[in-house]
Every structure is written in structure tokens, then in C-alpha cells.
């Protein structure tokens, strides 16, 4: 079922420079304001096939559910306004896309990825001009052409149906087994014959100033002595 209002998305960009490793360059403005954009760098990974969209449902460190659509773009010299390789000769790649909090993206639209790519390229050229001074820039929303389903509770979706019942049944079975083992152990211990105490065990040590005969303690019979 589609959302009642038109869903919106925010462009984002994760990229490496000629010297710097992959880092977040663009992120939704509401995530930048709360410093809650780290999930983009963890989730968005470069793909060997340029332009192929990947959709991921995730949750930020602050608990915000997001649906991400991203793709990889290998830069050309024209894109980079110069050399499109890093200082080690490796080709530069952008991981660009858009994020929405209006639900799960089930059919990404090429137009939405194209808009995100345009904004990503503009930001990336500025980044190459000053890699060390670059920081995360916030992006504003735009109306999505992608088909988005109603919001999904990711916590509920992560637990398969019936898991709670299976866990409860397992706990009951474990408790029953423990009780049976305890009862069997107690029965075996109660049926074990008790050894009578040795008559020598009750012999108390004589006091320093008293003889064993005067202590009143029973003495071991000769047959019981070693």
C-alpha cells in the first residue's frame, strides 16, 4: 500500500578522494543536525557495476528507520575536472543515493538516482578542491518518483513470526528437564547406604594438663586401632 502523501528523499554521498579514504560528504540535513549519519558510511559500499541500485532498510545509531537506495559511479576525468585516479593510481568512485524515512523503497526510480548523482558530483568537485577542509554537508528533501510502501517497524521485521512462542516453549522444556534431573539426583542420594561413624572419630584430643583417661572421652578398642 502506498503512503498517503508523496514520499520524499534526501541525497547522500560517500566517496574517497585522491588522498582521503571513503568518508561521508553529503547526508540528510536532519541526520547532520543530530550527528546521526554514521550509518551511511557503514551501509553504503562500493559496487563493481556502475549505476546498479541497491536498496537497504536500516536504522541509524539514534534509532531512526531509513530506507536507502544507492549506486556506485566510477569517475571520469570530466567528472573530476582533471585526473580521475587517486595518488596510488586507483580509479575514484562515488557511492551516491538517497534516503527516505517515509517507508520502504520497493521500486527505485532512475530519475531519483539521477538527481542524487547530480548533487553528488557537484559536492564531490568541491571536495577534490579541498579534501582536508571538507566536512559533511546537509541536503534537503525532494519528491520521490520511486514506489515506497508504508513504513515498516524494523524491530518487528527482524524477529520472524512465531519466534516468541518457540522461545517460550523451549524455556518450559528446559525447566522441566532440570526439575527431572534434580529429582533423580535427590532420589539416588537418599537411597545410598550411610556408613556408621567410626568409634575412633569421637575421641577428643586430651587437654595439655589432663590425661586421656581423665578427659572422659571414649577410647578406641584395640581391634579398631591401626
Q: Give the pLDDT means over successive 10-residue stretches in the chain (226 positions).
A: 74 92 94 95 84 92 94 89 85 94 94 96 91 91 94 48 37 55 60 52 44 44 45
Taking the domains of the chain in order of start, what are their residue ranges? Answer: 8-155
Report the pLDDT value the prediction gives residue 4, as an integer from 0 to 100.
58
Burial of 41 by CB count in 10 Å (0-12 exposed, 13-18 middle, 19+ buried)? middle
Set of cell numbers at residue 185: 539426583
Q: Are 26 and 12 in contact (CB under 8 A)?
A: yes
Q: Are 6 and 143 in contact (CB under 8 A)?
A: yes
Burial of 121 by CB count in 10 Å (0-12 exposed, 13-18 middle, 19+ buried)? middle
Report the pLDDT value the prediction gives residue 138, as an integer from 0 to 100.
96
Amino acid at each position: 500500500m502506498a503512503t498517503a502523501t508523496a514520499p520524499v528523499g534526501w541525497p547522500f554521498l560517500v566517496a574517497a578522494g585522491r588522498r582521503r579514504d571513503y568518508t561521508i560528504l553529503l547526508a540528510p540535513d536532519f541526520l547532520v543536525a543530530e550527528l546521526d549519519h554514521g550509518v551511511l558510511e557503514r551501509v553504503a559500499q562500493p559496487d563493481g557495476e556502475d549505476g546498479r541500485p541497491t536498496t537497504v532498510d536500516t536504522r541509524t545509531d539514534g534509532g531512526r528507520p531509513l530506507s536507502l537506495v544507492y549506486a556506485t559511479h566510477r569517475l571520469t576525468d570530466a567528472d573530476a575536472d582533471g585526473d580521475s585516479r587517486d595518488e596510488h593510481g586507483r580509479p575514484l568512485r562515488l557511492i551516491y543515493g538517497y534516503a527516505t524515512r517515509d517507508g520502504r523503497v520497493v521500486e527505485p526510480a532512475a530519475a531519483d538516482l539521477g538527481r542524487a548523482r547530480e548533487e553528488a558530483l557537484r559536492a564531490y568537485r568541491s571536495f577534490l578542491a579541498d579534501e582536508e577542509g571538507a566536512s559533511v554537508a546537509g541536503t534537503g528533501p525532494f519528491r520521490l518518483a520511486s514506489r515506497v510502501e508504508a513504513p515498516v517497524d524494523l524491530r518487528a521485521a527482524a524477529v520472524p513470526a512465531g519466534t516468541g512462542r518457540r522461545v517460550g516453549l523451549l524455556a518450559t522444556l528446559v525447566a522441566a528437564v532440570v526439575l527431572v534431573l534434580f529429582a533423580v539426583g535427590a532420589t539416588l542420594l537418599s537411597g545410598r547406604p550411610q556408613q556408621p561413624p567410626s568409634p575412633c572419630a569421637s575421641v577428643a584430643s586430651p587437654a595439655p594438663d589432663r590425661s586421656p583417661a581423665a578427659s572422659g572421652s571414649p577410647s578406641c578398642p584395640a581391634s579398631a586401632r591401626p
